[in-house]
């Protein structure tokens, strides 16, 4: 953690790398190291958040294929302020039906560096003109 227990760019970069490793791994054993037990996790600004670790584990398993899922991911931290970060994420799945995504993640962190609030703003190529 950065100065005074607040998140800094390196903390967020490390967290995002750990998230990607967890997404590429089987199971959900990495989730308690990434998220608080009471986590609120939204897959879009329009979707109701899943609340708590058990619900996140269910969502995590339902939303991915597992360690064999092939994708490229890159990210850029746009802002870090105290316990909140905004990250731009690009994910390109090898399977055509999984698609290409450009996301904004709004992350809020607990004092121990785990994420307590995850809000995703996903954007697909067919949404490119905003209409």
The tens digit of pLDDT for each residue in 7-59 reads 999 999 999 999 999 988 888 999 999 999 999 999 998 999 999 999 999 99
Its pTM surpasses 0.75: yes
Higher pLDDT, 98 or 75: 75
Residue range 111-122: mean pLDDT, rounded: 95
Query: What architecture is domain 3-104+118-125?
Result: Roll (3.10)
Structure tokens at 77: 């931290």
Q: Determine phi and psi for 129, rounding to 5 degrees.
A: -95, 0
Is there a contact between 93 and 100 (Cβ–Cβ < 8 Å)?
yes
Is there a contact between 39 and 118 (Cβ–Cβ < 8 Å)?
yes
């Amino acid at each position: 953690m950065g100065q005074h227990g607040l998140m800094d760019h390196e903390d967020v970069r490390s967290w995002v790398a750990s998230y990607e490793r967890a997404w590429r791994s089987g199971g959900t054993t990495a989730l308690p190291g990434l998220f608080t037990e009471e986590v609120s996790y939204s897959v879009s600004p329009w979707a109701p958040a899943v609340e708590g670790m058990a619900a996140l584990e269910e969502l995590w398993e339902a939303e991915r294929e597992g360690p064999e899922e092939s994708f490229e991911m890159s990210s850029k931290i746009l802002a870090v302020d105290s316990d909140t970060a905004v990250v731009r994420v690009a994910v390109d799945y090898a399977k055509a039906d999984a698609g290409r995504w450009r996301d904004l993640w709004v992350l809020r962190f607990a004092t121990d560096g785990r994420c307590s609030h995850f809000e995703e703003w996903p954007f697909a190529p067919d949404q490119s003109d905003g209409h």
